[in-house]
């Protein structure tokens, strides 16, 4: 059994408690219009071309036995490029191979009460793989977190609950029509799963990306706050302002770059205050 991973980020401080190793799985069943990891959409390997780095030396074409449009991921064009303009996105791992990578940072987990976070894309689409991996991490005494958008059968949550110490759960929009428009699916299953998960008592951190003109209203945040209170308060609710760090990836994939903005600091502070107020 293998899974395609597009990044292993070490020494992360933003994907759960302590120092963490975050493993990013390829493949996602949502299409957030503002996504900063568009290379995660496809579950397959991809060839990225960073046009702004290319000096038109032609070395990639000299070395490639196939046309660049019919890439077989031999990596000859990547290795021959002097400016790193070409990049293979995605590498196959078995659970044992991935565990070996995770264990390299075990000393940091122990010092900081950190651990491993499985992210994506949507890592829960590879439920058989992550269940096996989480079991192995639990055997090694590693704190585990799963970062998910929750658009999967609840049975998947039940399978990994015994081996998952924390869920990082994305809530994009409370309004279902808005969610369909910007995310590509309704949020009914997502909210239903979140309610069930909160009732298990498992630690959950809610993460809300804040996009100007999409979900940056007091009304939207208040509805989310009341929903969470109905099922049991999460350990933490994080509001994450939109950032542009992933926009260059769209060009590398030959896609149009999304045009969104972050809210002002004043607006973000007002939105965060919604989750700090006492509910009447």
φ, ψ at 209 (rounded to 5°): -70, 130
35 shares a domain with 52: no
Tell me the C-alpha distance between 280 and 236, whole Å. Answer: 20
Domain boundary among 88, 120, 149: 88
In a shared domain, residues 134 and 248: yes
52 and 157 share one domain: no
Which SS3 state, helix, strand or coil, does residue 142 take? coil
Predicted pLDDT at 72: 79
Is the same domain home to 112 and 56? no
Question: Residue 232 has what pLDDT?
Answer: 86
- Degrees to nearest 5, angle at CA 84 with 83 and 88: 160
Domains: count for the chain: 2
Q: Are 65 and 190 members of one domain?
A: no
Q: Do 80 and 206 fall into the same domain? A: no
Residues 160 and 220 placed together within one structural domain of the fold: yes
Please give the residue range of the domain that contains residue 115.
2-44+90-274
On whether both 262 and 209 belong to a single domain, the answer is yes
pTM: 0.93
Give Cα 106 to chain centroid, integer Å.
22
Judge if 236 and 261 occupy the same domain: yes
Do 74 and 170 fall into the same domain? no
**Alpha carbon 197 to chain centroid, angstroms:** 19
Residue 257 maps to a domain: yes
What's 17's domain CATH number? 3.20.20.70
Q: How far is it, in rounded angstroms, from Cα 140 to Cα 200?
A: 24
Distance separating alpha carbons of residues 62 and 78, to the nearest angstrom: 12
Residue 280 domain flag: no
Domain for residue 143, yes or no?
A: yes
Sign of CA dihedral 245, 121, 98, 204: positive
Residue 75 is predicted with a pLDDT of 82
- Asked if residue 279 is part of any domain, the answer here is no
Q: Distance of CA 7 to CAs 77, 107, 131, Å?
A: 20, 21, 19
Q: What angle do CA 115, 117, 120 make, to 5 degrees?
A: 165
Q: Spell out the long-range contacts of 259-264 with Cβ–Cβ below 8 A and sequence spacing 24 or more.
A: 260/33, 260/34, 260/211, 260/212, 260/213, 260/214, 261/211, 261/212, 261/213, 262/210, 262/211, 262/212, 263/210, 263/212, 263/216
CA 242/CA 250 separation, integer angstroms: 16
Do 96 and 83 reside in the same domain of the chain? Answer: no
Q: Where a domain ends, among 88, 117, 149? A: 88
Parts of the chain with a pLDDT under 50: none
Residues 144 and 219 in one domain: yes
């Amino acid at each position: 059994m293998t899974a395609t991973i597009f990044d292993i980020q070490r020494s992360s401080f933003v994907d759960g408690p302590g120092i963490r190793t975050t493993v990013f799985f390829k493949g996602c069943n949502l299409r957030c219009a503002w996504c900063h990891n568009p290379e995660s959409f496809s579950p397959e390997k991809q060839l990225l071309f960073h046009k702004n780095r290319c000096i038109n030396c032609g070395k990639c074409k000299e070395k490639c036995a196939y046309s660049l449009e019919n890439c077989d991921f031999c990596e000859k064009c990547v290795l021959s490029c002097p400016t790193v303009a070409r990049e293979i996105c995605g590498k196959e791992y078995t659970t044992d191979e991935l565990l070996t990578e995770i264990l390299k940072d075990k000393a940091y987990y122990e010092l900081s009460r950190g651990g491993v976070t499985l992210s994506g894309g949507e890592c829960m689409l590879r439920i058989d793989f992550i269940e096996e991996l989480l079991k192995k991490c639990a055997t090694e005494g590693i704190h585990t977190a799963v970062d998910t958008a929750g658009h999967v059968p609840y049975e998947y949550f039940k399978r990994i609950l015994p081996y998952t110490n924390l869920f990082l759960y994305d809530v994009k929009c409370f309004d279902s029509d808005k969610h369909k428009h910007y995310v590509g699916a309704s949020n009914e299953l997502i909210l239903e799963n979140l309610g069930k998960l909160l009732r298990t008592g498992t630690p959950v951190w809610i993460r809300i990306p804040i996009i100007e003109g999409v979900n940056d209203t007091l009304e939207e945040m208040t509805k989310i706050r009341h929903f969470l209170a109905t099922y049991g308060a999460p350990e933490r609710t994080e509001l994450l302002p939109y950032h542009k760090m992933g926009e260059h990836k769209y060009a590398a994939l030959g896609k149009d770059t999304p045009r969104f903005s972050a809210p002002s600091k004043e607006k973000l502070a007002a939105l965060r205050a919604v989750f700090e107020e006492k509910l009447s």
